[in-house]
Chains A and B, each alone.
Chain A
Amino acid sequence: MEEQDRKIVRALADGIPFVPRPYAALAEKAGMKEEAFLDRLRTLKAQGILRRVGAVLQHRRAGFAANALCIWNVPKDRLDEVGSAVSREMSVSHCYSRETVEGWPYNFYAMIHAQSREECEKIADRIAAENGLGARQTFYSVREGKKAAMRYFCENEDESDNS
Chain B
Amino acid sequence: MLSDFDKAILNAAQGDFPLESRPFAVLAERLNTDEATLLERLTALKQGGYLRRLGAYFDSDALGYQGTLVALYVSPTSLPSVIEAVNRYDGVTHNYEREGEYNLWFTLQTASENRRQKVLGEIRELPGVERMLELRSAKKYKVRVQFRLE
Chain A contact residues, CB within 8 Å of chain B: 1, 9, 12, 15-16, 18-24, 34-35, 38, 41-42, 44-45, 47-59, 61-64, 67, 69, 79-80, 83-84, 86-87, 90, 92-99, 101, 104, 107, 109, 113, 137-156, 159, 161, 163
Contact = CB atoms under 8 A, between A and B. Distances in A.
Contacts of A97: 137-139, 141
A52 B25 CA distance: 19
Contact of B10 (A55, A156, A163): A55
Closest 7 CB pairs of A and B: A83-B141, A55-B13, A145-B95, A87-B142, A139-B98, A143-B97, A15-B55
29 contacts: A9-B63, A12-B56, A15-B55, A16-B56, A21-B21, A50-B56, A52-B17, A54-B16, A55-B54, A57-B52, A79-B139, A83-B141, A86-B141, A92-B142, A96-B137, A99-B138, A139-B99, A140-B100, A145-B83, A145-B87, A145-B95, A146-B92, A147-B94, A148-B92, A152-B63, A152-B65, A159-B115, A161-B111, A163-B118
> Chain B: interface residue count, which band?
35 or more
Contacts of A35: 21
SS class of chain B's interface: helix, strand, loop or mixed? mixed
